[in-house]
Amino acid sequence: MSKNKQKQNKTKKHSGSSGDAQYILSIVRGLGRDANLKDLFPKVLKKISQTEIILALHQLEREGKIRLEQKGKIKVLRDTHQQKTEQRNAKVLFGTADITKSGAAFVNVEGMDKDIYIPNKFVRNAMQGDAVKVKLTIYGRRPEGEIVEIIKRSQDSFSGRVDVFEKFAFFIADERNLKTDIFIPLTSLGKAKHRDRVIVRITDWNLDGKKPIGEVMEVLSDTPSSDYDMKMILIQNGFSIDFPKDVYKELEKHTDQIPKEEIAKRLDFRKVLTVTIDPVDAKDFDDAISYRVLENGNYEIGVHIADVSHYVREGSQLDKEAERRATSVYLPDRVCPMLPEKLSNELCSLRPNEDKLTFATIFEMDAAFNIKNFTIARTVIHSKRRFTYEEVQEVLETGKGDYVEELQTLDKIAKHIRAKRMKSGAIAFEKDEVRFKLDETGKPIGIMIKTRKDAHLLVEDFMLLANETVAKYGSKIHGHKKQIPFVYRIHDTPDPQKLEMFSAVAARFGYKINFDDPKDAAGVFNTLLKKVQGKPEQNTLETMAIRSMAKAAYTTANIGHYGLAMEYYTHFTSPIRRYPDVMVHRLLEHLLTQSDSIIDKGELESRCKNSSLMERKAMDAEREAVKYKQIEFMQDRVGEEFEGVITGVIARGVFVEMRETKCEGMVSTEMLGDEDFVFDEKMVRLTGRDTKKKFELGDVIKVKLLSADIVLRRIDLGLAEE
């Protein structure tokens, strides 16, 4: 056989995505645990093109046979049959409950093709969204089981009506997914009276068949509808609007007096210039920055963070409640804090002209702003000035005001840090943030767009530097006999399918981009984001770019942070509002003191998962609340016309963001014209069957506000008359 024919046969043997995929899988398996793209390409490029390799790898990833990781690593996964076998042999599985109207449930278990059916009598008192442990009782096409344990409640507070009797009271919830009444002891009624509408928090779920026990947190009978709806958004996303009595009781032990012996244990920075820089309406000051020039001419910059772990001891009632909440939630008209106000706004808050306990990363930098060394230590500070972002921005722009030289130098250092990060491949997302101007009742009377300037970026850059430094430090052994676990903030590479979709949409706007190598996606995004600045399609493409990214999460298994282009990253700088930061502070103390106590990695990972889950719930609540306030604002503008940009297209119509108000509404197909419209899913557009008129992402159109329905949470638009 001739060489040409042999070559043709070889090519034919591996042609087609299925053949390519199986061939590449065999090569990857042969490379073993250290399989990497740089080793794979030389082995197969002579037989398969680069594009075919990428497509085959994506196919294998979709089929669950491999996982593409950072730095080109390829992990071979166990096949689905093996996973199912292991799950079945385990018999006890973990998943999320989906309660049906009949009272039965289906439990979704990650990695299983089918949900597990739970008959009504085996649901126990699980609720919608609860994390549960399930015992499998029937295998096969329709697996069945019984819930044996509630791992985490999705919600523990409810709104409804209280009925008060002579010796006890009962609460009847509005929520349909709570199938039982709640027993309220008279001592837990607070100011509630018979038939009052109230918010109740369950204190004991009573799994032995008795009624759950609760306490009244707030009487709602005279609550304005907007205030009530904001509270419902928090409650239905799993957040309590007040703290349990035992937390307040424990809080009484804490005073604002700092013992001299505690100060003696710390590095004393009280005489070093230290300032805070925060939003004008901030009350909890997590972080402060210290600045001084050393005798050798180098700069010393300290990033000092509120030492919450000094006040919130592990295992205390304060700690348990903070762990359960995991995060503060920021709605347009209120904050639902992770910690009680006495801690968040007083004892832990780095208020000016007060001695405060902090945990710090302290950097020594030379004249070229290169880090010569760093120190991680517990410190005590005395903030000299509480700056707002606007005040610092004015100092930077005018060269006038308090601490001009110091702030200008900090700004130069921050820009140096930022430039290095961007050069490493960090993605520069700068999406607009909507803020509301509210009247005394909380009703929005204006909408503003928050723009990030040098003052914001200055703080952000130093916080990122501190977080990265702490993560690197935590990843090392530092004299321990064995590696201890640490908490990381990770961000995986983008989903290849989402990148393909993004590329197709960008092409419609005239931007030809290529994501052949996911590692280069950051550079592609940054180049594109610069090009779209100030153009009609900017918001659409920025939003799609963010959605194509993987979700960041907390874990003990580090894979790096793709969006920030950091191999090690954690959250250390906001312990007043994030529980993972509290965990990191405790782990640092463990490392610094070289403690011999054992850290349970499984327990740490469980807390990480809860923090990731609650973070997503907080984001859902915040988005829902912003949408609510936007609708509330637009109610007074029905009938007005606005210029807008199409931000979404579905078969039922198009979503339009009005430029003036940044509010999004929907124009249904019935309002687009007197004809049928055909939806093209691939091109994401609607086309009139008769006129061929097209409505596509990024199109600028003029719309009329038809209605703003606060109950349905919907803004309806029509096309403005030409």
109 touches 123 (CB < 8 A): no
Domain-terminating residue out of 133, 152, 171: 152
Tell whether the model's pLDDT for residue 10 goes beyond 60.
no
Confidence of residue 62 (pLDDT cuts 50, 70, 90): confident
The model carries a pTM of 0.80
CA distance 368 to 361: 20
In-domain check, residue 559: no
CA distance 112 to 523: 37
**Residue 266 shares a structural domain with residue 361:** yes
In-domain check, residue 530: no
According to the model, what pLDDT value does residue 682 have?
77
Tell whether the model's pLDDT for residue 4 goes beyond 50.
no
Confidence of residue 14 (pLDDT cuts 50, 70, 90): very low
Confidence of residue 77 (pLDDT cuts 50, 70, 90): confident
According to the model, what pLDDT value does residue 596 have?
78
**Alpha helix segments (H runs only) across 600-644:** 601-634
CA distance 588 to 358: 13
Domain-terminating residue out of 620, 648, 678: 620
Residue 651 burial by Cβ neighbours in a 10 Å radius (0-12, 13-18, 19+): exposed
Number of Cβ atoms within 10 Å of the Cβ of 658:
23
Q: What's the rounded mean pLDDT across residues 35-44?
A: 78
CA distance 581 to 577: 9
**Residue 62 shares a structural domain with residue 134:** no
Domain count, the chain: 4
Give the domain range for residue 666: 638-719
**Residue 289 shares a structural domain with residue 334:** yes
Tell whether the model's pLDDT for residue 607 goes beyond 90.
yes
**Residue 324 shares a structural domain with residue 415:** yes
In-domain check, residue 221: no
Confidence of residue 192 (pLDDT cuts 50, 70, 90): very high
According to the model, what pLDDT value does residue 15 have?
40
In-domain check, residue 500: no
In-domain check, residue 228: no
CA distance 72 to 88: 33
Going by C-beta distance under 8 Å and a sequence separation of 6 or more, which residues neighbour residue 602?
A: none
According to the model, what pLDDT value does residue 520 have?
74
Tell whether the model's pLDDT for residue 456 goes beyond 60.
yes
In-domain check, residue 210: no
Lowest mean pLDDT among 162-176, 326-340, 618-632: 162-176
142 touches 159 (CB < 8 A): no
**Residue 608 shares a structural domain with residue 669:** no
DSSP H/E element including 317:
helix 317-325
Number of Cβ atoms within 10 Å of the Cβ of 705:
22
194 touches 162 (CB < 8 A): yes
Tell whether the model's pLDDT for residue 20 goes beyond 80.
no
Confidence of residue 186 (pLDDT cuts 50, 70, 90): very high
Q: What's the rounded mean pLDDT across residues 460-464?
A: 97
According to the model, what pLDDT value does residue 87 have?
47
Q: What is residue 282's three-state secondary structure?
A: coil
Lowest mean pLDDT among 90-99, 252-261, 364-373, 374-383: 90-99
**Residue 299 shares a structural domain with residue 415:** yes
Tell whether the model's pLDDT for residue 190 goes beyond 80.
yes
pLDDT, averaged across the chain: 87
According to the model, what pLDDT value does residue 719 have?
95
Confidence of residue 647 (pLDDT cuts 50, 70, 90): confident
Tell whether the model's pLDDT for residue 180 goes beyond 90.
no
**Residue 312 shares a structural domain with residue 394:** yes
554 touches 580 (CB < 8 A): yes
**Residue 297 shares a structural domain with residue 358:** yes
376 touches 358 (CB < 8 A): no
489 touches 611 (CB < 8 A): no
According to the model, what pLDDT value does residue 573 have?
97
CA angle, 90 then 94 then 96, to 5°: 150
Greatest mean pLDDT among 81-90, 133-142, 426-435, 568-577: 568-577
Tell whether the model's pLDDT for residue 80 goes beyond 60.
no
CA distance 177 to 161: 16
How far is the CA of 37 from the CAs of 73, 492, 520, in angstroms?
A: 6, 17, 14
Q: What's the rounded mean pLDDT across residues 224-243?
A: 90
Encode pLDDT of 357-372 as tens digits.
999 999 999 999 999 9
Tell whether the model's pLDDT for residue 50 goes beyond 50.
yes
Q: What's the rounded mean pLDDT across residues 527-552?
A: 83
484 touches 599 (CB < 8 A): yes
Tokens standing for 255? 């005073």
Instruction: Give the rounded percent of residues in the chain with a pLDDT score beyond 90.
Output: 55
CA distance 233 to 33: 46
Nearest of 586, 648, 645, 613 to residue 378 by alpha carbon: 586
Encode pLDDT of 473-522 as tens digits.
998 754 444 568 999 999 998 888 888 888 888 887 888 888 877 667 88
According to the model, what pLDDT value does residue 208 have?
65
471 touches 541 (CB < 8 A): no
Q: What's the rounded mean pLDDT across residues 597-602?
A: 86
C-alpha dihedral (420, 421, 427, 429), degrees to nearest 10: -90
Tokens standing for 569? 């990253």
In-domain check, residue 392: yes
Confidence of residue 86 (pLDDT cuts 50, 70, 90): very low
Domain-terminating residue out of 132, 152, 172: 152
Nearest of 452, 522, 523 to residue 491 by alpha carbon: 522
Going by C-beta distance under 8 Å and a sequence separation of 6 or more, which residues neighbour residue 665?
A: 634, 655, 656, 658, 703, 705, 708, 714, 715, 716, 717
Tell whether the model's pLDDT for residue 379 goes beyond 80.
yes
719 touches 695 (CB < 8 A): no
How far is the CA of 36 from the CAs of 27, 40, 215, 424, 641, in angstroms?
A: 11, 6, 57, 21, 56
Confidence of residue 52 (pLDDT cuts 50, 70, 90): confident
**Residue 335 shares a structural domain with residue 397:** yes
According to the model, what pLDDT value does residue 722 have?
63
Tell whether the model's pLDDT for residue 71 goes beyond 80.
no
Tell whether the model's pLDDT for residue 85 goes beyond 60.
no
CATH number for the domain including 128?
2.40.50.140
Residue 343 burial by Cβ neighbours in a 10 Å radius (0-12, 13-18, 19+): buried
The gap between the terminal CA atoms of the chain, to the nearest Å, is 72
Q: Which tops the pLDDT comparison, 642 or 152?
A: 642
Tell whether the model's pLDDT for residue 18 goes beyond 70.
no
Instruction: Give the rounded percent of residues in the chain with a pLDDT score beyond 70.
Output: 92
In-domain check, residue 532: no
CA distance 126 to 242: 23
**Residue 67 shares a structural domain with residue 124:** no
Confidence of residue 19 (pLDDT cuts 50, 70, 90): low
Q: Could you give the angle at which helices 538-547 and 521-531 cross, rounded to 10 degrees?
A: 160
Number of Cβ atoms within 10 Å of the Cβ of 504:
13
DSSP classification of residue 143: -
Tokens standing for 8? 């043709």
Q: Which tops the pLDDT comparison, 245 or 376?
A: 376
Buried b (16+ CB within 10 A) or exposed e, 20-30: bbebbbeebee
Q: How many CA atoms does the CB half-sphere of 73 hold within 13 Å?
A: 13
Number of Cβ atoms within 10 Å of the Cβ of 227:
15
Q: Are strands 371-382 and 267-268 parallel, antiparallel or unpaired?
A: parallel
Encode pLDDT of 109-165 as tens digits.
877 878 999 998 898 888 888 889 999 888 777 889 999 888 888 888 998 999 999
**Residue 578 shares a structural domain with residue 616:** yes
Q: Are strands 553-555 and 488-490 parallel, antiparallel or unpaired?
A: antiparallel
Tell whether the model's pLDDT for residue 345 goes beyond 90.
yes
CA distance 24 to 220: 63
**Residue 85 shares a structural domain with residue 68:** no
Confidence of residue 33 (pLDDT cuts 50, 70, 90): low
Q: Which tops the pLDDT comparison, 188 or 59?
A: 188
Tokens standing for 382? 């005395």
Residues linked to residue 381 through DSSP beta bridges, in sequence order: 356
Q: Which tops the pLDDT comparison, 656 or 74?
A: 656
CA distance 486 to 556: 5
Encode pLDDT of 612-633 as tens digits.
999 999 999 999 999 999 999 9
